[in-house]
Amino acid sequence: MYAQAEIGEDIPRKRPRRLVRRLLVAVVVGVVAGMAVMLGIEGWGTLASEAGGSCGSSHGLSYGGCPRGITPALLLSFLLGIPAGPAAIVMLFAKGWDRRALVAIAAAGGVLAGQSIWGTLHGQDLAVAWTANYDTSFELSTVGAWTHGGALIRVRVDGATSYDGATGRQLWSFTLPGTDVACSVSGSPATTEQAVGLIAFGQGSARCDHLMAVDLATGRPLWSRPLPYPLSGSEGGLLAVAGSTAVVVSAEKALGLDLQAGTAKWTGAAPGQGTSDCLTQQVAAAGQYLIALARCDSSFNVLSIDPATGKPAWTAHVTEPTSSYQIQLLSADPVVISDVLPGAREVSRVQVFGPGGQVTSSMRVSGIPGVNGPAVLDTESHEVFGLRTVIADGLLIGVARETGPGTDIVAFQLADGQRRWLVHLPDEVTAVRLSGDELMLVDESDPVPSLEAISLPSGHKRATGFISRGVYDSGDAGLYLAGGRDIIVNLRGAKPTPPVAAIAVPPARG
């Protein structure tokens, strides 16, 4: 009797254990099945949206790069789904409401876990907050862009349009008269925030003989007037807003105009020419500072000019070993000039000019020891989107071209010319902008570009996410900040790439 009692007492204890095991199995099967399903959905969906459904190489055919993390995601989905999928289906249709409920709840948790794993493997997809309407013609290209307050203003060859950076709402728009086209605008990517913008226009680049000032808050033209001489070329760099003066250089002449009225304040020879062998190449402003750069035969002149009178405050003359050099004004405050001697043994340097025109530091920016070999800082002007360098926090930061694959982002100290840090990216970089103490850039990764951020003080890089929709025109786009959003402005805005697109970038994690 005692033995029978002991056996009878053991039976109730076994049943709860069996029930717990069954419920634990249901939870595990549900979680694993949910993870497998979500990884499969994310993987195949991303393959379709980012790579058109095919990637890699097969039978001698190349389909382009595969989305990041897609191979491990699909492999995990397959390996986990083979046992867990059928088991979950059986449990969902088996008797016992408790087990069915646990499988369903656990599967929901597995979906969330799968999303988290996918985010780790692939990275975050950045949503496109808004896009501007497509241009009706491929010829309606971008001439320049400004930011004002929370707005992004795009200047097209036939006029200008302002967009609210946060919402994409069109704030104002105007069209140039008749069949005139815009050929140049004031400012540069380093000085896009303006209250008044200058647009030079005419019947073409050879007849760019009119100038207009536009209130960027309202789109109202403040004035429009003919120029005494056509603007020299269509490459830009010969218009500037310095304080209350509009400065324009044309046909070896310089003209200072009242910014609000358009009346002449001063006129004279183009700054920095000195002798007949010199030609003013660029003017740039920062607040009340106006700097001119003139190219001469085997030398160049840098001038600081009083925008109210047109008189030079100081002039610096720099000699060159040959006449085949190239120069570029990188910043008006501080005054930073790049100087490149192209060729098989390219030599590139950057000089910083202090008060009175003295050179305070000089740095060689070619032959930089990069990750894949020697690199050279890209200080050339690119289309209408200016330079691929920025100056901030006492640093010169820019894109360095490598001899091997990838791109280096390098920072030099302006005070002494010493290199602060170098960050390597595996792909090409063609668009940068400042954001507080970070440099934002577009890494043209295959099959979709990514938005990255680099800390100015430390050079630490963090991934922001992928721009999965086709809103970035590789090599022909600028990156701006307006309304708290990263704004992409493309050179061409006809289908399939919109002229302007705003990216919803999540805040950085503390």
Count of structural domains within the chain: 2
Averages of pLDDT over each 10 residues, the chain, 510 residues = 48 62 76 81 70 56 57 78 80 73 81 74 79 91 91 94 96 93 79 82 84 95 90 68 90 88 90 73 88 89 92 91 87 92 84 93 89 84 70 93 83 94 87 89 82 92 81 85 91 91 75
User: Of the candidates 294, 312, 337, which is a domain's last residue?
Assistant: 337
Nearest Cα neighbor of 294 from 250, 267, 262, 328 is 328
The domain in which residue 237 lies consists of 176-337
- Residue 19: per-residue pLDDT: 64
List Cβ neighbours of 120 (8 Å cut-off, separation of 6 or more).
69
Are 77 and 70 in contact by the 8 Å Cβ rule? The answer is no
Do 229 and 333 reside in the same domain of the chain? yes
pTM score of the predicted model: 0.79
Q: CATH code at 223?
A: 2.130.10.10
Do 96 and 244 reside in the same domain of the chain? no
* Residue 317 included in any domain: yes
Do 194 and 95 reside in the same domain of the chain? no
* Residue 446 included in any domain: no
Do 204 and 99 reside in the same domain of the chain? no
Do 111 and 193 reside in the same domain of the chain? no
Cα–Cα distance measured from residue 187 to residue 270, given in angstroms and rounded to the nearest whole number:
18
Do 303 and 199 reside in the same domain of the chain? yes
- Three-state DSSP at 116 gives helix
* Residue 457 included in any domain: no
- Residue 12: per-residue pLDDT: 54
Do 327 and 200 reside in the same domain of the chain? yes
Cα–Cα distance measured from residue 142 to residue 165, given in angstroms and rounded to the nearest whole number:
18
Do 301 and 188 reside in the same domain of the chain? yes
* Residue 255 included in any domain: yes
- Residue 358: per-residue pLDDT: 94
Contacts by residues 1-5 (CB-CB < 8 Å, ≥ 24 positions apart): none
Do 332 and 216 reside in the same domain of the chain? yes
